[in-house]
Structure 1
Amino acid sequence: MTSRLRSVLLSTVIIATTAIAAPLARAAEYPSRAIKLVVPYAAGGPTDVLARLVADYLGKDLKQTTVVENKPGAQGAIAAEQVARAEPDGYTLFVTAASIMVLNPLLYKKLPYDPQKDLRMLTVVTDLPVVMEVHPSVPAKTVKEFVAYAKANPGKLNFGSAGTGGTIHLAGEMFKQIAGVEMTHVPYKGAGPALTDLLSGNIQVMFDTLSTALPPVKGGLLRPLGVSSKERSPDLPDVPTVIESGYPDYQVGVWFGLAGSSKLPDEVVTKVMASMDKALNDVAFRASLEKIGFPVLKPKTVAEINQFVDEDRARWSKVIKAMNISLD
């Protein structure tokens, strides 16, 4: 072997070794600068509050500044696309939701991101049950009584939501399908205006998230008929589940979690997941979320996270196809 050939081979080996070692070194020292959590909703809302609690915990545990960046709009697609296209180094993460990871792809034919190809779930933080609540003018005090009342008054009941295609809209559509009742959907620009109209009696029923339903329900302003989880909510222990009420296929959860680019290095994924697992087991962190109506889940493995999302996708796919709902 000539000295020139030997020199060329040595240079090639050095370049190849450096190319492999560089990303591994960056992953090993992660995080060495500020982490950004992209939030798909406006500042001040429940998701934003959750994101800031997550950012605070991650920042302290990973010993690095963690900031929240709100990117609302397009049903979460703007934020999702930003994270999907970001450098896959772990410095841009995504506080995401069921509507973005599961519902959008089922409702829209064209999206600027593919949650199954572009994004990777890192943890599921909370899974909020939906509360079926009615205005006091509705005579029903149970789910069964409501179904009987709705069937006796077809088309006369209106249910509100935060907007067409959202989880609480589809929770109502699922109930219509399973219970065999007719109700008219009234979409609003947010849960607040819908709740206001429910309180005033302009609409009769709403399938609302636990966090926003608790104040008016506990204040006696609205009557809760059932919750959408498998088990009763500790916050409303006297309210039966819809499953208990005779509808075993009715299960709805509004879940939120943390995601990142599908191309994140395994070492970064391991560090972020380990930090979030610690958060989900942390008494103070759990209490801070439960205080604002977010029940905290136990840590899940990668396989369990994927199964959780796949089951939710299958559940909603069935409802959306049956109702022939499309937002394109």
Structure 2
Amino acid sequence: MFQQRRTLLALGLSLAVGAPALAQDKFPSKPVTIIVPQAAGGANDTIARVLAQKLTEQTGQSFLVENRTGAGGNVGTAAAARTRPDGYTILLTADSAMVINPALYKNTGFDPVKDFEPVSSVATAGYVLVAHPSFPARNTAELVALAKQQPGKINIGSAGNGTLNHLIGEMLGKATGIELTHVPYKGAAAAATDLVAGQVQVSVQSLPSSIAFIRSGRMKVLGVVNPKRLPVLPDAPTIGETIKDFGATPWYGVFAPTGTPKAIINQINAEIAKALDSKEVQERLAGVGCEFFKSTPEQFAQLVRDDLPRWARIVKDSGATID
């Protein structure tokens, strides 16, 4: 009997000691910060806010979007790499910062493989080459012809040095032999605003940044960057229909700093998958020219590994570099 009481007492103490630990294992038990290393109003910011709202509804904890911009996404990405690896600060970034910048910049301030754990892909976005309505060219071929007649006189606005918008413009120049004058802005929204105002003639824009302007007639589409035509713009030809093999499908995904427990990574992945299965989220993404794109952490890690050398080749071929 005495031994039985000792056993029960020991079990009771064990449960009492373990209770707080079990309570601490509940995730999330406080607000989660989503660092977005691109400016408000762009594709990544739009996707992050759609996802954050749904994750907040699902978990009962706030998911808060924090924009940390600079150096084509390097500033926010490097900051995310230095955060505590506990799942309460995660990164939602465009592919450009994670798999393109390492080939563009001499020092990004982070290592995309060593400093991060891939959690899940989230979406792909439509990208378009757009122009002010008064611009003479109506499509990619006419832009190329006009630029060859006026080398360096056509301004192309981007979301900033080293951004995907910038690099796609560089790729276009390299593929066609034309010279466009690059005008970098602090974010896609600022570039779109100046295009509408006629301060620059053309720009590469994500659909989340430009679809409202396109629908209202304040921008015209010269070509779609993606390899296939976009459902929201079925009549707009791809640039690849004019320039063979030209095209890219930008993706967006969530990363956690290296050292984040696998159980937490899997839990965040499961919550993201649940959110992306929601018809509401799918419709909101489709409305701004994006498509949901979910994966396991392992599948997403493989995508990053595959894209790093692919974009390194593209950057090298384009000749684009940033100090």
TM interval, shorter chain, is 0.7 to 0.9
CA contact (8 A) 2:97 2:163 kept: no
Residue 156 of structure 1, CA deviation: 3.0
CA spacing shift, 1:29–1:227, aligned 2, 3 Å = same
Measure, in 1, the Cα distance between the counterparts of 2:194 and 2:201.
Answer: 9
Residue 209 of structure 1, CA deviation: 1.1
1:285 is the counterpart of 2:271: no
1:64 is the counterpart of 2:54: no
Runs of 4 or more above 6 Å deviation: none
CA-to-aligned-CA distance 1:57-91 (integer Å, 9 cap, x gap): 22332343433334334443343233322232222
Map 1:178-327 → 2, pairs under 5 A:
178-243=175-240, 245-291=241-287, 293-327=288-322
Task: Give the partner amino acid of 1:266.
Answer: K
1:157 is the counterpart of 2:182: no
Report the equivalent of 1:80. Answer: 77
CA contact (8 A) 1:209 1:254 kept: no
1:92 is the counterpart of 2:70: no
CA spacing shift, 1:27–1:116, aligned 2, 3 Å = farther
Measure, in 2, the Cα distance between the counterparts of 1:152 and 1:211.
Answer: 32
CA spacing shift, 1:41–1:153, aligned 2, 3 Å = closer
Report the equivalent of 1:6. Answer: none
* 2:222 alignment partner, SS class: strand
1:119 to 116, 120, 135: 116
Identity of aligned residues (%): 37
CA contact (8 A) 1:132 1:225 kept: yes
Task: Give the partner amino acid of 2:79.
Answer: Q
CA spacing shift, 1:71–1:145, aligned 2, 3 Å = closer
CA spacing shift, 1:228–1:285, aligned 2, 3 Å = same
So what's the TM-score if we normalise by structure 1? 0.81
Task: Give the partner amino acid of 1:297.
Answer: F
Q: How many residues align?
A: 305
1:102 is the counterpart of 2:77: no
Residue 194 of structure 1, CA deviation: 2.8
CA spacing shift, 1:128–1:74, aligned 2, 3 Å = same
After TM superposition, the structure 1 stretch with the greater mean CA deviation from structure 2, 48-57 or 95-104, is 48-57
CA contact (8 A) 1:164 1:187 kept: yes
So what's the TM-score if we normalise by structure 2? 0.82
Report the equivalent of 1:7. Answer: none
Q: Which runs of 5+ in 2 are unaligned?
A: 1-17
Measure, in 2, the Cα distance between the counterparts of 1:274 and 1:62.
Answer: 11
CA RMSD of aligned residues (A): 2.8
Measure, in 1, the Cα distance between the counterparts of 2:131 and 2:39.
Answer: 28
Measure, in 1, the Cα distance between the counterparts of 2:37 and 2:150.
Answer: 39
After TM superposition, the structure 1 stretch with the greater mean CA deviation from structure 2, 28-37 or 230-239, is 28-37
2:128 to 120, 131, 142: 131
Residue 138 of structure 1, CA deviation: 3.5
Residue 43 of structure 1, CA deviation: 5.5
CA-to-aligned-CA distance 1:223-260 (integer Å, 9 cap, x gap): 212111122111111101112x2323222344322110
Q: Which runs of 5+ in 1 are unaligned?
A: 1-20
CA spacing shift, 1:180–1:59, aligned 2, 3 Å = same
Task: Give the partner amino acid of 1:265.
Answer: P
1:32 is the counterpart of 2:29: yes
* 2:238 alignment partner, SS class: coil
After TM superposition, the structure 1 stretch with the greater mean CA deviation from structure 2, 257-266 or 141-150, is 141-150
Measure, in 1, the Cα distance between the counterparts of 2:106 and 2:88.
Answer: 30
Residue 276 of structure 1, CA deviation: 0.7
Residue 294 of structure 1, CA deviation: 4.7
CA spacing shift, 1:26–1:171, aligned 2, 3 Å = farther
Measure, in 2, the Cα distance between the counterparts of 1:43 and 1:307.
Answer: 29
CA-to-aligned-CA distance 1:262-302 (integer Å, 9 cap, x gap): 222221111111111111111012223333x1513232233
CA-to-aligned-CA distance 1:147-204 (integer Å, 9 cap, x gap): 2333333333221112221111111111111223222222233334433443344432
Measure, in 1, the Cα distance between the counterparts of 2:299 and 2:112.
Answer: 17
